[in-house]
Amino acid sequence: MIRRDWIKLLAASSAATMLPIPSLTAGPFEGRRILFQGDSITDAGRNKEINEANNIQALGYGYSALISAQLISDNKEFQIYNKGISGHKVFQLIDRWQKDAIDIKPDVISILIGVNDFWHTLSNGYEGTVETYIDDYRKLIDQTLTALPKVKIIICEPFVVEGGTAITPEWTPAFDGYKKGSLAISKEFKLPFVPFQEYFNRALKSAPASYWCPDGVHPSIAGSTLMAKAWMETFKRI
Amino acid sequence: MIRRDWIKLLAASSAATMLPIPSLTAGPFEGRRILFQGDSITDAGRNKEINEANNIQALGYGYSALISAQLISDNKEFQIYNKGISGHKVFQLIDRWQKDAIDIKPDVISILIGVNDFWHTLSNGYEGTVETYIDDYRKLIDQTLTALPKVKIIICEPFVVEGGTAITPEWTPAFDGYKKGSLAISKEFKLPFVPFQEYFNRALKSAPASYWCPDGVHPSIAGSTLMAKAWMETFKRI
């Protein structure tokens, strides 16, 4: 090998490591705005410092990013945002809805919320019930439709993957109420519904929870891909 | 809303933010091992603390993750790794090849390297030439095939997206030599080749560099999706 200037190489390597954020954004097309909202499943490690649309780091490592890759590739008009925050329950979406949903003026809002509304009653002293969940969810949808009468809202079913390490017997049948609650909200407001539970139940016939969703709540890359497929099935019909 | 214990909620929220790493891994199936190797385009912000296969954070935000999502979803036997490192040139792959390639015992190694072999001659005083690149690339392939005679190696073409903010007139036609060099290596060793440049050139007819690859080197999510499609076309034929 030829002589190389190692100090300069090191500097070059460090500079390249700090990728400029705009380089990972597909833009600047204006068009149909889609917003993903929810808890840690939607958050999926997204970079919360980045607010622009279609940025791969801002979209996180989850189903939203996989869906976005497909949508952006097929249609250059989409502007996609992810504002999921780990640990959130439906009332916490209400608390930040103006800033993290209404102000973005999305054409489509996809909401996946509910697992913490139940989970945190087991482990964190949260006192909300399934009725709290449904009542708060109704307020959230009312607020959204009042502010954005033309928005299309997609209700995603909260799910639990049986066999996951975090899933104790207490989840069954208690968590069913939250799944049914999200379906009831979708019916009440005539909103499209993504039946994630059914997809995971079918997937469990070909591989265990460790493959799709090791702790039963947070999907692996395989589980995120499954969610993206389920979501696209619903999205194609709206 | 009912009374809520905010301190507990805060604790719950923090705990949920720290996702357990194994929960994002699809496993524990054993099977065909695929390794992605290269520079920042492959690295794509991957978490280098995680060494297990099929982990969405370890796969990064780039084309490798999008390919993995597709492969893992279709076939439960794949074990996929990404060991790209930002700023690397082909000689730096040689330096870490035993640990970051041979020791992983992959069945398939996909290599995308070359942009820094040229770029760093412009901006960072790197003294390698296109001959250095080809000679070093030949050593890398020789070393690989000696250690792993049955491995399938996929050569990915380094590319430049015209109109990107980092692309100066100095790139043309000088960078062509590196693209041709990677093709020459693929022919010399009869290895499958992914013609990324052709895909980006075609894509530029429907949207500018700002959409696919803003700086001309690091793809957006749209560009990464395009790369995943190109790669799959080659992979299907091996």
Per-residue pLDDT for A233 more than 50?
A: yes
Residue B169 lies in a domain: yes
Residue B17 lies in a domain: no
Residue B46 lies in a domain: yes
Containing domain of residue B67, as a range? 28-218+230-235
3-state class of B152 per DSSP?
strand
Q: Cβ–Cβ of B86/A17 closer than 8 Å?
A: yes
Q: What are the catalytic residues of B?
A: 40, 215, 218
Interior angle at CA B228, CA B195 and CA B149, nearest 5: 70
Residue A2 lies in a domain: no
Question: What pLDDT is stored for residue B227 in this prediction?
Answer: 98
Residue B9 lies in a domain: no
Orientation of helix A63-74 relative to helix B221-235, angle to 10°: 90
Contact B47, A70 (CB under 8 A): no
Question: What pLDDT is stored for residue B26 in this prediction?
Answer: 64
Q: Helices marked H in chain B — which ranges?
A: 6-17, 40-43, 56-59, 63-74, 90-95, 97-100, 115-123, 130-147, 176-188, 196-203, 209-212, 221-235
Residue B12 lies in a domain: no
Nearest CA in chain A to B119: A12
Chain A residues in contact with B2 (beta carbon < 8 A) = 127-128, 132
Question: What pLDDT is stored for residue A73 in this prediction?
Answer: 84
Token duo for residue B207: 């949207």
Chain A residues in contact with B21 (beta carbon < 8 A) = none
Nearest chain B CA: its distance from A184 CA (Å): 20
Chain B residues in contact with A8 (beta carbon < 8 A) = 124-126
Q: Which of the two residues, A168 and A77, has the higher pLDDT score?
A: A168
**Residue A151 sits in a domain of what CATH number?**
3.40.50.1110
Token duo for residue A144: 């959204």
What is the interface size between A and B, counted as CB pairs within 8 Å?
223
In this prediction, residues A227-231 reach a mean pLDDT of 97
Catalytic residue among A39, A40, A43, A182: A40
Low-confidence ranges of chain B (pLDDT < 70): 1-31
pLDDT in tens, B112-123: 999 999 999 998
pLDDT in tens, A115-127: 999 999 998 899 9
Write down the mean pLDDT value for chain A: 89
Residue B38 lies in a domain: yes
The yes-or-no answer on residue A215 being catalytic is yes
Q: Cβ–Cβ of B221/A76 closer than 8 Å?
A: no
Kindly indicate the confidence band of residue A31, based on its pLDDT and cuts at 50, 70 and 90. Answer: low
Question: What pLDDT is stored for residue A238 in this prediction?
Answer: 86
Nearest CA in chain A to B13: A87
Q: Is A176 exposed, middle or buried (0-12, 13-18, 19+ CB in 10 A)?
A: middle
In this prediction, residues A190-210 reach a mean pLDDT of 96
Question: What pLDDT is stored for residue B3 in this prediction?
Answer: 32
Count of domains for chain A: 1
Question: What pLDDT is stored for residue B154 in this prediction?
Answer: 97
* ipTM, interface predicted TM-score of the complex: 0.83
Chain B residues in contact with A221 (beta carbon < 8 A) = 24-26, 54-56, 59, 65, 68-69, 72
The yes-or-no answer on residue A142 being catalytic is no
- Non-local CB neighbours of A38 within 8 Å, separated by 6+ positions: A84, A88, A93, A111, A112, A113, A156
Question: What pLDDT is stored for residue A124 in this prediction?
Answer: 87
| Interface residue of B21, B23, B72 to substitute, partner A, most A CBs within 10 Å | B23
In degrees and rounded to multiples of 5, residue A64 shows phi and psi of -60, -40
Question: What pLDDT is stored for residue B10 in this prediction?
Answer: 29
Residue A3 lies in a domain: no
Per-residue pLDDT for A55 more than 70?
A: yes
Distance, in Å, from the CA atom of A42 to the CA atom of B22, rounded to the nearest integer, reads 17
In this prediction, residues A75-79 reach a mean pLDDT of 88
